[in-house]
Structure 1
Amino acid sequence: MKVAANKIYLPLFVLILLVQLYLPSFKACILMQLAALGGIFIFGNVKLSGNFLDMLKPFLFLLLLGFVATIFNSYAFYNISKDIFHFIKPITGLLLGYVIFRQVNNEKLFVKSIVVAGILSSLIHLFIVFVIIGFSTAIEEIRLFTRDNFLDLFALFFLIYYKKFFKADMFKIKLIWWLALALIIISVILYFSRTMIILAFLLVVAIHGLTRITPVTVKLFAVFVVSLALLFTYLSNANIRRDAKGLEGFLYKVKIAPEEMFKTRINREDHRDLWDHWRGYEANRAYMLMEEKPYSFVIGTGHGSLVNLKFNAPLTGESKGMRYISELHNGYMYIFYKTGIIGIMVYLSIMFWWYSYIYRKQTFINIIISAIGLFYLISSLTITGIYNSRDIIIMILGAALFFAESNLKKTNNIEPIQTT
């Protein structure tokens, strides 16, 4: 029975991850995931533990909280439905990862499935870079087609650290391991992504136990902060051109990263100033709209609310541009705008809950869950965090939560409460 489950559920999981990354339509991805969940619940013997249901409750609360302010406003149904899809995405992702690997129930196969998905994703990425784009030296042209890919990063670290935690080789033939490693590394580098660098750093320090708060890690963190300050001091004083190509263009992006998020005094008529600080601009516009409705600071503006940019921004391929947007790059401002301070408190509690896994038994799964919690805390500043429409990490997390629960059950030899 398990062999049959592996043949069905592992390819399904890999397919869902790749579709989430490469299918442009967010709604189509969610509908596919809901269909997959429906099929698993109908044809599989699905059980959800009480602990896992507790993990879903904060997301259900945020989903329902978003309807409170909606009741008092006349929003278009299309915009309301769009927000609903975004707010059910974490629930769908967690459920998919959890129920699929509850059927498989093999931690090693979970890790291997991520590596296989990463290899396929790397091949797709390199095909895009070298064939479709024709390998341009302009980073902005490469990133126009390929933004971030956290699947590749997880695959890379799972591949490297598999033997450390599972005391065995992932592939019987060593050459396959080296080829997979080279392929994924090349793919990761060619994303030129600042956010992927952050995740890579977090995975390294988490795997080596350096995200626990101890006297040693506090000192290391202080050294890191000083080093980071020196780096940005150097970049701020270096003559790095905004319109430069290649590595210099990437360094310019790194240089402006802090002010890109937090600068709010922006000259909208100065396109250089506007696009270099776009995240700050849209967050400031959202806050100014909330000031018009003081209650929104508590419960948000609700599902269906839009942010008026005050001009038609060329954010899509449409010639007329977009004046009203629903999503924000800053995930904290996005949650604050939709659900108020109550939503922000719930959102933060979720991520700190996941981070706290580092203080449990130092297993591979607990380390990964904690690193994901930390990453969401940081990525919520730039790419909407948990509510990023292309995020695949939430599905990896759902699977990891099942194995954390399963490992704890084996340790305590206690059967968890189950709900059909």
Structure 2
Amino acid sequence: MKVTLNKEWPYQLLFLIAVAFSYINNYEISLSVWLIILAITIKRYYSKSIIVLCSFFALIVFLGLLRSFYYDYNLYDIIRDFSYFIKPIVGLLIGYQCFRSKENNFFNTVIYTALIIAVIHLLILANAFLVYRIRYVFEIRDHGGFFSDFETFALLILIFHKKFQLNFSLKKRFILTSIIGFSLCLYLARTNMIQFVIVFCGMLGLFQLNKLKLIILTIIFIIGSISYKIIYDMNPSRSATGFENFLYKIKNAPKEIYDPYVVNDNSPRFHDNFRSYETKITIQQVKGKDNWGLWLGKGLGATVNYGVSIWTNDGYQVRHSPILHNGFTTIFLKTGIIGLIIYISSIVYLATMKRKSSSNYLNNMKLLLNSSGIFLFISSLVFLGLYLKLDNKSLFIGGLIAYYELISKNKNLI
């Protein structure tokens, strides 16, 4: 497979580095690298679209900072939260700044970046199989990672290659799809399954509703509901290993989002539905703080008291957590209902961004962009959305916006 470098290769390399470091489970290092890349690639001019999108997140940061002055928080805690809450802005701008030239094809760069990520992922798992003899689902995910939104986007671009004018040969397309697809399957991630379905439906234009598309979406919903009912009736065991354990996680997924009856009793239900417990106690603690807490939150530096020490994926035990699994709950904790309204507005803006064009190429990019916005809502429910420490969707979205605008202004490139 021959890969030709062009004069924009430094931006491609910087984009690759930004994506690669998002997979490293050390937020301080990954954010530092992102900030360096942001400074290197900074531009003089930015479009209205990217400014408006970033402004939503900037408003949330401003509101959180303002509220932090009303409480006696440790300066370190405020700075820590500030670093978490600027991440979407940094990611969007890096992606936007890396794709401002016609020489840097966004879709090619995404695919080859995903290929490198996939190869590294497969090598890590191969080493784990040979050295540690891993064979269970939790071991595969513990060594290889829990999800890969970026590879999911790349796989979808390959599937819809004609819509994005990718002139890969059948052989090259097969190799790329096989490697990235196999790597993606080994994450065994429910979130990526949902992402795939949502963006796939979006690329078919099913969210641009008419009578036929509404019927198709209804059929898909019915099939999904029946499939879930079958899995539920199979009653996969919580203590099972392998694929049955994966089915158990699918069965339990709705309760993970919100289970109003979960309590801190160290039971299997508590551990399985811990995200629900987070949401429940966050609402209770924010409401009980002061009269304005419900509307404006508790500010940057605020934490939720679990009432018990919990192990994190970073290998630490925490009792007071500044960041929760649910993105909406995290924003509610820091900035209240007003912050939630701002965040939901950013999702709606992304899901409806750009007008329909006479160019099919631009319309297909719009479908991908809007579908990403729809998925962001689901992602925020389970994995913090753009605020996740391991997130790279902001890089993808920022780059896609920039490339759309580049093609829109230079239609001779189509």
**TM-score where L is the length of structure 2:** 0.91
> Where does residue 416 of structure 1 map in the other structure?
none
CA distance in 2, matches of 1:175, 1:86: 42
185-194 or 258-267: which moved more?
Answer: 258-267
**Which shows bigger deviation, 310-319 or 154-163?**
310-319
Structure 1 residues 176-209: Cα deviation after superposition (integer angstroms, max 9, x where no partner): 3322221111111111100000111112111111
Question: How far apart are residue 360 of structure 1 and its match?
Answer: 2.2
Is contact 2:278–2:306 with CA below 8 Å preserved after alignment?
A: yes
**Cα contact 2:299–2:335 (8 A) shared by 1:** yes
Query: Which residue of 2 is the match for residue 94 of structure 1?
Result: 92
The residue type paired with residue 62 of structure 2 is L
Write the letter of the residue equivalent to 2:164: F
Given that residues 212 and 358 in structure 1 are in contact (C-alpha distance below 8 angstroms), is that contact kept between their aligned partners in structure 2? Answer: no
CA RMSD of aligned residues (A): 2.1
Give 1:81 deviation, angstroms. 1.2
> Which consecutive residues of structure 2, in runs of 5 or more, have no partner in the other structure?
none
1:185-264 superposed matches below 5 A = 185-264=181-260
Distance 2:61 2:380 in 1: 18
Whole-Å separation in 2 of the counterparts to 1:253 and 1:75? 37
The alpha carbon displacement at 1:400 in A equals 1.0
**Alignment: residue pair count:** 400
Which residue of structure 2 lines up, in the alignment, with residue 315 of structure 1? 312
Structure-1 residue corresponding to 2:382: 382
Counterpart residue identity of residue 333, structure 1: T
**In structure 1, how many angstroms separate the alpha carbons of the residues matched to 2:241 and 2:381?**
26
Aligned with 1:154: secondary structure?
helix
How do 1:21-420 residues align onto structure 2 when only pairs under 5 Å count?
Answer: 21=23, 23-41=24-42, 46-102=44-100, 104-106=101-103, 109-134=105-130, 136-145=134-143, 146-166=145-165, 168-170=166-168, 174-293=170-289, 294-315=291-312, 321-357=317-353, 360-361=356-357, 363-410=363-410
Contact 1:211 / 1:217 at 8 angstroms: preserved in 2? yes
- Quickly say closer, same or farther: Cα 1:371–1:273, change in 2 above 3 A: same
Shift of the 127–378 alpha-carbon distance from structure 1 to 2, 3 Å rule, reads same
* TM-score, normalised relative to structure 1: 0.90
- The CA distance in 1 between the partners of 2:322 and 2:45, in whole Å, is 35
What is the CA distance between 1:411 and its match in structure 2? 6.2
Task: State which drifts further: 304-313 or 52-61.
Answer: 52-61
Aligned to 2:17: 15
Q: Which amino acid aligns with 2:122?
A: L
Shift of 1:226: 2.6
The DSSP-based 3-state class of the residue aligned with 1:153 is helix
SS at match of 1:92: helix
The 8 Å contact of residues 40 and 46 in structure 1, kept in 2 or not, is answered as: no
- Greater CA drift, 190-199 or 230-239: 230-239
Relative to structure 1, the CA distance from residue 239 to residue 142 in structure 2 (aligned partners, 3 Å threshold; closer, same or farther) is same
CA distance in 1, matches of 2:229, 2:171: 43
1:403, distance to aligned residue in structure 2 (A): 2.2
Task: Indicate conservation of the 8 Å contact 2:129/2:135, yes or no.
Answer: no
Does the 8 Å CA contact 1:316/1:322 hold for their aligned counterparts?
no
Identity %: 25
Which ranges of 4 or more aligned residues in structure 1 deviate by more than 6 Å? none
Q: What is the rounded CA distance, in whole Å, between the counterparts of 1:326 and 1:305 in structure 2?
A: 6
Once the two structures are superposed, residues 378-416 of structure 1 have per-residue CA deviations (whole angstroms, 9 ceiling, x without a partner) of 11110011211111111111011112223343469xxxx
SS in 1 for 2:308: strand
The letter for the 2-side match of 1:250 is F
CA gap of 1:335–1:210, structure 2 versus 1, over 3 A, is same
- SS of equivalent to 1:380: helix
In structure 2, the residue matched to 1:418 is none
